[in-house]
Amino acid sequence: MEFVLLIFLPIVAALFIPFLFKRMKRIHTGWFVLAVPLVLFLYYATYIPSTMDGGHAISELQWIPSLGISFVSYIDGLSLLFSLLITGIGSLVVLYSIFYLDKNKEKLGNFYVYLLLFMSAMLGVVQSDNVISLYLFWELTSISSFLLIGYWYTRDRSRFGALKSMMITVFGGLMMLGGFVLLGIMGDTYSIRELIASAPDFVGHDYFTLALVLLLLGAFTKSAQFPFYIWLPDAMEAPTPVSAYLHSATMVKAGLYLVARFTPIFAFSEVWVWLVTGIGLLTLFWGSLFAVKQTDLKAILAFSTVSQLGLIMSLLGAGAITFHSDDAVFKFAMFAAIFHLINHATFKGSLFMIAGIVDHETGTRDIRKLGGLMSIMPVSFSVAFIGSMSMAGLPPFNGFLSKEMFLQSMVAIRQFELFQFDTWGILFPVIAWIASVFTFVYSFYFVFRTFAGKRKEGQLPQEPHEAPVGMLVSPIILGVLVVGIFFIPNLVAKWLIKPAVAAIQPNLYSQPGDIDIHVAAWHGFKSVELWLTVGVIIVGALLFISLSKWQKVYGLQPAKFSLNALYDGMMSFSEKGMNRISRFYMTGLIRTYMIYIFAFISVAVLVILFTQDAFVVDMDSFAHIGVYSVINAVILLLAVCFVLLSKTRLAAIIALGAVGYSVALFFVIFKAPDLALTQLVIETVSVALFLLAFKHLPALKDHGETVKTKMTNGIVAIGVGITVTLVALSAHSQKLIPSIAQYYKDTVKTEAGGGNIVNVILVDYRGFDTLFEIAVLSIAGIGVLGMIKLRLGRKENSDENK
């Protein structure tokens, strides 16, 4: 079986969800959905032995082979890790949603369709070897996440958050597509594997830096990096299962995947190292600083996610230094990035689920109303404590191990002597330490302000109680993983981390077994990261204890001086600006729109004709113009002028007929009797129809057009005439291929069995064109008939009322 088809399994399953939801009311739809990610997880797990040995698997499904575009599923250590996260966390989220979402109140048919659509899109992103198909799946994640975030579409904040996330991530996706196109131009291929193989040749290319920046825009917007992170807090309006899935382990990790996958191509550039490391560290600091300001549990987790994504991004940037240095510490950085990516998925997924449980069982997420829930919800508190301590970077939890690696990598950066890191690099460990302090604060803030202290009687919308067992299973599993990974990190490294690192750094490792990194919780008293952690705990504890005294500082920032205000202002300005422009040119008059269209076409075509030296006239190819042609041309011009100057409808119709008959005479003069006959028939029928409908046509009126308007119309009309004439002359004089006319002449009798070449073209060679034209005219005729009947009906009703 071509395993590339498994990417589409969730989409295929989604087709049956609405039917199951409607027909199987007594069974929660989530039980049917659960089988999809679970089966996929078990299937992808079978590839672990292969990737551990440095192997990979490829499966291809042709899409547009002529353009080199196809669906290629490439499973190596990196894509396998993400596939396991997508399906593994997906299974736990679906299980959690079964108990979180009421089958009698929620539109589960919609919810699970959107969720499965998103799952397929994410699998496509992490497994695609073709950058065009990767972009297709990338934008599909934006669309499906828009639907998931806006699932409760009757809420204003849900619709706002969905639109905001889509606007920002789709913008990044379009920029990323530009980068992919430039990569395709540089490498003459859309295959990521082939691009990586040719990467050293791209460094000096004119498009290299531009492609780099465009691709990073896509990654930064999707992974909520500064300043694009503003969509993530608003996306918390989604149901908690969506937040636990999209914003802990999947969608926000897509940008990290993109950076990791394209590191072998762009890491040769100092721009890549500086941007990825610098923006990541800035995002870490910014997210941790503002997480403490929030009062909504999911908002706290949203900003904590922003900060943790920044941490991983900075490690990916530091790991890219290995393309310029053999220092073992920087090899450590890439390992730490993948390690923390796994750790973050476990502890953040559990914390989102606990936030949802608190909301579900108390009726609020406002941390100001919470407190004292430890004795009432002991299991939820235990899981929240484990997740929060891991997020704070304390032992014995997995976050401690990867956080120590992070601090070690940031300290080492200041000693890197290229790209001016030896001067500015001192800021990296300082910012990392400060951000770690605030990470400690918001972790304690989340768990202890929710579960410790005294209960605030009367402030909760409902009486709190522990969640049902089914709702606790998923966060408990994640909590067990948080603790378990701390004790068996090297086993996890052997199975998952090292194969992923080997895929990112093919310049260093030919297979995962070459990676000689050993994870340990203790490095001795002389390790710098140990004392940095001690400082984080001491300062963080003091800040948390005194939180009520300094938290008010956040209120000093004016709301209008924020990135959210900038986004709102840009959206408001664009909406109002577009409305003004629309009101300016949307006059409601068809003739005005025709002027716009004709004027634009004339200007565009004439500019191209003369700037590209396309205007060429070959007089030798022209037919001889005799006296009859000149006389007929004069008659034609007089007839056209008479149409324009006519004061009555009858005179205009007669003059219009004269124009048509004059054209037919030209066909006779230039020995084209078939065309002449067709033109005469059409013109006769048209004039007859006009005359038959004469009494129904409105009288000619003076529309009060000013001299300026008439001059504008005249200029546009002359411009169109000149344009058409010049294009006709140039096209006739520059025939790059032989005319098809000779083919018609040779086959009109032998192949089509006709005598009139024009008729044969209309009903044989271009029979389908004629058929569709007739269909269009028939539809228009039916519409006109309906309008006439409607008008007559109104007239009859009016007469009856009188």
DSSP-assigned letters across all residues of 505-522: -TTT-SSGGG------S-
- At residue 799 the predicted structure's pLDDT band, cuts being 50, 70 and 90, is low
Residue 181's SS3 state is: helix
pLDDT for position 165: 95
Which one has a higher pLDDT value, 143 or 700? 143
For the chain, give the mean pLDDT.
Answer: 90
Buried-state track 546-563, b at ≥16 Cβ within 10 A, e below 16? eeeeeeeeeeeeeeeeee
Mean pLDDT of 440-463: 91
Name the token pair of 124.
Answer: 């496509």
| DSSP secondary structure of 692-725 | HTGGGSPPP------HHHHHHHHHHHHHHHHHHH
Name the token pair of 160.
Answer: 């706002």
Proportion of the chain above pLDDT 90, given as a percent = 60
Decide if 359 contacts 461 (C-beta within 8 A): no
Identity at 655, one-letter amino acid code: A
Give the length of the chain: 802
Q: Is residue 1 over pLDDT 60?
A: no
pLDDT for position 667: 86
pLDDT tens figures, 565-599: 999 999 988 888 888 888 888 877 788 888 899 99
Q: Out of 79-93, 309-323, 421-435, 543-557, give the one with best mean pLDDT.
A: 79-93
pLDDT for position 418: 63
In DSSP terms, which residues pair with 555 in a beta bridge?
A: none
CATH number, domain 586-738, options 3.30.410.10, 1.20.1260.10, 1.20.120.1200, 3.40.190.10? 1.20.120.1200
Name the token pair of 462.
Answer: 């409902």
**Three-state secondary structure along 573-609?**
HHHHHHHHHHHHHCCCCHHHHHHHHHHHHHHHHHHHH
pLDDT tens figures, 735-753: 777 777 778 888 888 877 7
Name the token pair of 192.
Answer: 């990521």
- At residue 419 the predicted structure's pLDDT band, cuts being 50, 70 and 90, is low
Q: Is residue 683 over pLDDT 70?
A: yes
Find where tokens 């108390």 sit. Answer: 362
pLDDT for position 175: 97
Identity at 158, one-letter amino acid code: S
pLDDT for position 248: 81
Buried-state track 385-423, b at ≥16 Cβ within 10 A, e below 16? bbbbbbbbbbeebbbbbbbbbbbbbbbbbbebeebebee
Decide if 671 contacts 629 (C-beta within 8 A): no
Residue 2's SS3 state is: coil
| DSSP secondary structure of 272-314 | HHHHHHHHHHHHHHHHHHHHTT--BHHHHHHHHHHHHHHHHHH
pLDDT tens figures, 703-712: 667 788 888 8
pLDDT for position 330: 76
Mean pLDDT of 229-236: 95
Q: Is residue 164 over pLDDT 90?
A: yes
Angle between helices 270-291 and 297-319 (to 10 degrees): 160
Decide if 537 contacts 440 (C-beta within 8 A): yes
Report how far residue 791's alpha carbon sits from residue 802's, in angstroms, rounded to the nearest whole number. Answer: 17
Decide if 142 contacts 166 (C-beta within 8 A): yes
Lowest mean pLDDT among 177-186, 405-414, 418-427: 418-427
Find where tokens 């998103």 sit. Answer: 118
Mean pLDDT of 296-310: 96
pLDDT for position 649: 80
- At residue 4 the predicted structure's pLDDT band, cuts being 50, 70 and 90, is confident
Mean pLDDT of 623-630: 84
Mean pLDDT of 97-122: 94
Q: Is residue 349 over pLDDT 80?
A: yes
Write down the domain spans for the chain: 280-545, 586-738, 739-791
pLDDT for position 798: 66
> CB atoms < 10 A from the CB of 517, how many?
17
At 137, phi and psi to the nearest 5?
-70, -35
Report how far residue 265's alpha carbon sits from residue 505's, in angstroms, rounded to the nearest whole number. Answer: 10
pLDDT for position 677: 83
Which one has a higher pLDDT value, 734 or 296? 296
Q: Does the model's pTM come out above 0.85?
A: no
